[in-house]
Chains A and B, each alone.
Chain A
Amino acid sequence: MEKEPHQKHVLSLLVKNEPGVLARISGLFSGRGFNIESLAVAETMENMVSRITLVTTGDHSIVEQIKKQLNKIISVVKVIDLEESPYVKRELALVKVRAKPEHRAEILRMVDIFRCRVVDVSPDYYTVEVTGDEDKIEAFLDMVKPRGIKEIARTGVIALSREKKTPGK
């Protein structure tokens, strides 16, 4: 039987904004050996409801089991499998790049090409803010890695489904 490749899978969870919800969800993943690639959580416009955007990996049956187990959690209001239809994916990274005088121009060119922003300047470092999908962030990092990356902080993926292009249905 051919083994299905383990795809990254983005799930969007609406959860009650209560203490312990995040612990229960991460406990579910660790307890059952499921994988969390990244996790981002924040409030929504709805009172007492937060959105967790979670990236996991696994074959079809594992992802099915993950979705069912998440649904079972009392504080989880809704489990949305973003892979089921087109969606917008973004991530933000703050990257501290070593900026020696002879490399500054080149780095700034990269920043321009990737449409990022320099948000901090010091004699030796630029801190660059990069926003985009994973491919863009990886590409930027690849370009500046030869210069030296001192530190990096990433948010992990956030995502929302795309709305239907044709009105009503």
Chain B
Amino acid sequence: MSTAQTVRLHPSPPETREAETGSKAMRKLTGAQILFEVLREESVECIFGYPGGAVIDIYDELSRADVRHILVRHEQGAVHAADGFARASGKVGVCVATSGPGATNTVTGIATAYMDSSPLVVLTGQVNTSLIGNDAFQEVDIVGITRPCTKHNYLVKDVRDLARVLKEAFHIARSGRPGPVLVDLPKDLVQSSTDYRPGEAVNLKSYNPTYEPNVKQLAKAVRLLRQAQKPLVFAGGGVVLSKASDELTRFARAIHAPVTTTLMGLGVFPARDPLWLGMIGMHGTYRANMSTAECDLMVAVGVRFDDRVTGKTDEFAPNARIIHIDIDPTSIRKNIPVAIPIVGDCRRTLKKLIRMLEDENFEGLEERRLPWLRQIEGWRASMRLSYEQGDVIKPQYVVEKLHEITSGDAVITTEVGQNQMWAAQYYHLNGPNCFITSGGLGTMGFGLPAAIGAQIARPDKLVVDIAGDGSIQMNIQEMATAVQYGLPVKVVILNNGYLGMVRQWQELFYKRCYSCTEMNHAPDFVKLAEAYGARGLRATRPDEVEDVLREGIACPGPVIMDFAVAREESVYPMVPAGAPITEMLLV
């Protein structure tokens, strides 16, 4: 939990502010000025947004503020960019949109962040307080609309509440289980003035997340760990949010247990470690899914047992006692009964467990695990992730080559669908915060703006958006943003001329009736890139793939690489909806 800083990071030029007598001095400021003071106190360096009538005062003040602003081309892009920034940096992402349609355009982005527990503060303009409820021009009840998909939201009606509300918003966004917080700002409020005192602490008596785990539960967990013959460590997005990748890795190695993760947890455990099983779930690896059926103890850390992971819940991990560590009590025992629920922060809990395990005598542990690990190796040998590379480029080949050329070191964002699944399966990660994907909501169009946000957060890294020809068109306008700010994001389009994942379902379950999934009228992506002022490259044969990737990566600016891939390739393994995850379609 962090508190607001009282030290100013960027002293303001004297001619634009009243003289101060000390950092805690009270000054009369407008709502807009207060907003930027709070952003400064919260160490916000960059915001993403799009102007409009209701926020014109904010933008006027912005021109005098120290914070960087990235002008997007659609408010949805602003929210996804703030989200990508948050996921890549571990900080709170901030975005601004105007009232009415600007605000409604943020809803998909907010719901995306909500489902994946991303810390965001979304600032929307609102009509004058006197006009609220009057069907005014560009008025919407955005607080009402986003109530179900925000962690919390506010409509500020009095400028004297503004500083407190904004500080609370940041606190709520980043603490406990993170999430998006929306603050609706009426225009007249932003224009009016009040006394402002910096550095006041947040005081929310009704909100007290549990960070410290219960010691008795930990002791029970250690007892089970002692007895386990076939343990399995199962980690998810909560480990990323808790910044607990090191602890997770040490814990798994301490008990010498194999590790699998959800889509959201990819990267918390190094893929090159022999204990790594690959991703679990609907498109997880064979050995990861089979391990859940056979394990006798499952340590679930920072996961919520989503339906993409569990398959048929009655038949999930039937032989296992489950230890479930999560900061959110609502995730525990929601879908799956667990033997030992532990509410707490993943990092603190794992640290405590590791310390308790040090007192245990785990002699001969590696030998004890041999039969289990041998069983798992048997599964791996019998069914590896594979594809056949012929005359046509296989999408998996593109991802594998990308992985090879980048040494698995890039920050990957994805769109949604087959592109997302192949990225998860073939881009093996060795660290957290490098795989940014819309897991919970599955929002097509997330990848490109998220890549922009991630690039801003990590200017030193190569950022690649792995996309499909359908998804990339949903927020393609953000190419202009990338070009404007010289953000060298690389877009890899796995172009099969279909809405791939839906086509796959139609092939498997709807007798190949490809209703409305053929995308025959896509633009020429190379020309489109050039129209935006970016570089466009294309590969149509397997022997062109590596050269195109290398050229694109070496290019100093944003690039679209269009790979014409096999049209009807499907993602395997696949667990059909409603089936247990051990019943995978393998070919």
Contacts and interface: CB of A to CB of B under 8 A. Distances in A.
Interface of A: 15-16, 19-20, 23-24, 27-28, 31, 61, 64-65, 68-69, 71-72, 74-77
A31 B148 contact: yes
A137 to B, nearest CB: 33
Nearest to B334: A65
B253 interface: no
B143 interface: yes
Interface residues of B, number: 18
Contacts of B147: 20, 23-24, 27
A72 B330 CA distance: 8
Contacts of B334: 65
Given A74-B152, A74-B207, A75-B206, 11 more contacts: A20-B144, A20-B153, A20-B155, A27-B147, A31-B148, A61-B333, A64-B333, A65-B330, A72-B328, A74-B204, A75-B152
Given A16-B206, A20-B143, A23-B144, A74 B330 contact: no
A16 B330 CA distance: 21
Contact of A19 (B155, B329, B333): B155
Nearest to B331: A68
B151 interface: yes
Nearest to B332: A68
A46 to B, nearest CB: 11
B172 interface: yes
B143 A76 contact: no
9 contacts: A20-B143, A20-B144, A20-B147, A27-B148, A31-B148, A72-B330, A74-B172, A75-B206, A76-B206
Contact of B330 (A15, A19, A20, A69): A69
Given A20-B143, A23-B144, A71 B151 contact: no
Nearest to A20: B143
Interface of A is mostly: helix
Contacts of A15: 206
Nearest to A65: B334
Among all A-B residue pairs, the 5 with the closest Cβ atoms: A77-B206, A68-B330, A74-B152, A68-B329, A74-B207
A36 to B, nearest CB: 16
B511 interface: no
B521 interface: no
A31 B145 CA distance: 13
B216 interface: no
Contacts of A23: 144, 147
Interface in B93-152: 143-144, 147-148, 151-152
Nearest to A14: B206
A32 B143 CA distance: 19
Nearest to B177: A72
B17 interface: no
Contacts of A19: 155
Contacts of B153: 20
Contacts, number: 37
Nearest to B204: A74
A39 B346 CA distance: 37
Interface in B195-241: 204-207
Nearest to B151: A74
Contacts of A16: 206
A165 to B, nearest CB: 31
Nearest to B329: A68
Interface in B318-346: 328-330, 333-334
Contacts of B333: 61, 64
A124 to B, nearest CB: 41
Contacts of B151: 74
A72 B208 CA distance: 9
A77 B205 CA distance: 7
Nearest to A49: B206
A61 to B, nearest CB: 7
A24 B205 CA distance: 18
Task: With a 10 A CB-CB cut-off, give which of A64, A72, A75 has the most chain B CB atoms.
Answer: A72
A63 to B, nearest CB: 12
B132 to A, nearest CB: 11
A3 to B, nearest CB: 15
A130 B493 CA distance: 70
Task: With a 10 A CB-CB cut-off, give which of B204, B206, B207, B333 has the most chain A CB atoms.
Answer: B206
Nearest to A78: B206
Nearest to A32: B148
A23 B328 CA distance: 22
A74 B148 contact: no
A64 B331 CA distance: 11
Interface in B133-190: 143-144, 147-148, 151-153, 155, 172
Contacts of A68: 329-330
B7 to A, nearest CB: 28
A24 B144 CA distance: 9
A71 B143 CA distance: 20
A68 B155 CA distance: 26
Nearest to A72: B330
Interface string B343-382: 0000000000000000000000000000000000000000
A19 B330 CA distance: 25
Contacts of B155: 19-20
Contacts of B143: 20
A57 to B, nearest CB: 19
Nearest to B181: A74
Contacts of B152: 74-75
Contacts of A20: 143-144, 147, 153, 155
Contacts of A64: 333
A65 B334 CA distance: 7
Task: With a 10 A CB-CB cut-off, give which of A65, A68, A74, A75 has the most chain B CB atoms.
Answer: A74
A101 B153 CA distance: 58
Contacts of A75: 152, 206
Contacts of A65: 330, 334
A71 B148 contact: no
Contacts of A77: 205-206
B420 to A, nearest CB: 26
Contacts of A74: 151-152, 172, 204, 206-207
A26 to B, nearest CB: 10
A87 to B, nearest CB: 23
Contacts of B205: 77
